[in-house]
Structure 1
Amino acid sequence: MHNSGPRTSQELYSVERNMRARCRFGQAMLLQELGGKITPASTDASDRFDYETTRWHASLLGVCASGNDLSETLNAWMRAAQRRLRNDFTRRATDGRPDCPYNGAAMLPPDSTRVAEAT
């Protein structure tokens, strides 16, 4: 998996749910295993006045978040993933999960397929 963005809403949904089911260490490991990046806050004294360098940052599947520590950053990433999914309107009406393009049905046969007509 790569960090350029989710190939599907199902992929982002699956990662977000999987991350929620893990402990903090497991969440950080999953994010990195999937190609995400966690950048810790800078401890350099010359960066003290740059707000962004004093915060942790996480990015995975095109979702980026930041926080004051690792725990807050992972929570922020999960919230950002949920927001992205909520704003994606390709979901099932019944349960809110990202929709499957075929909704469980088999693919249609090619246009050239001859079918019997009812008379």
Structure 2
Amino acid sequence: MPPTPQEIYAATRAMRSRCRFGQAMLLQKFGGRITPASTDPSDRFDFGATRWRLSLLGLSATGDDMPSALDAWLRTAQIRHTIDGTRRATDGRPDCPYNGAPPLPPITNQHAKAT
């Protein structure tokens, strides 16, 4: 089953709020995979083998080193979130309990019950 937009959004927000080491640890916690670049001298002319690969929640990214691969994954997740048409909240979150409406007033001020 593919990840939901909420899972990708939550993972992106959690990773952005951490340092590089924290991002790598969170990536492992979420079940992501980091593949380091090849150090074999015979691969020095193979561009794909000299790049770090990162995959998490069905999104993949590459970079020259681990920090750039993490940045690339965060950019990929942000682009996916931006072009995803299922966002409902006005602030860009993929979910909103009120769908843009303000919360109900306190119970003492209500004139009718919400159903």
Per the shorter chain, which TM-score range?
Answer: 0.7 to 0.9
Q: TM-score, normalised by structure 2?
A: 0.80
| Structure 1 residue corresponding to 2:33, chosen from 32, 37, 43 | 37
Structure-1 separation of matches of 2:32 and 2:74? 13
1:65 aligns with 2:32: no
More helix by share: 2
Structure-2 separation of matches of 1:102 and 1:61? 27
Structure-1 separation of matches of 2:40 and 2:21? 25
Contact 1:38 1:58 in 2 (8 A): yes
**Across the two proteins, how many residue pairs are aligned to each other?**
100
The residue that corresponds to 2:9 in the other structure is 13
Contact 1:65 1:76 in 2 (8 A): yes
Q: TM-score, normalised by structure 1?
A: 0.77
Structure-2 separation of matches of 1:93 and 1:84? 16
Q: Which runs of 5+ in 1 are unaligned?
A: 104-119
1:88 aligns with 2:84: yes
| Structure 1 residue corresponding to 2:22, chosen from 18, 26, 29 | 26
Q: Which runs of 5+ in 2 are unaligned?
A: 100-115
Structure-2 separation of matches of 1:76 and 1:100? 27
Identity of aligned residues (%): 66
Moved more, 90-99 or 46-55: 90-99
Q: Deviations over 1:50-72 (max 9, x none)?
A: 10110001000011000001110
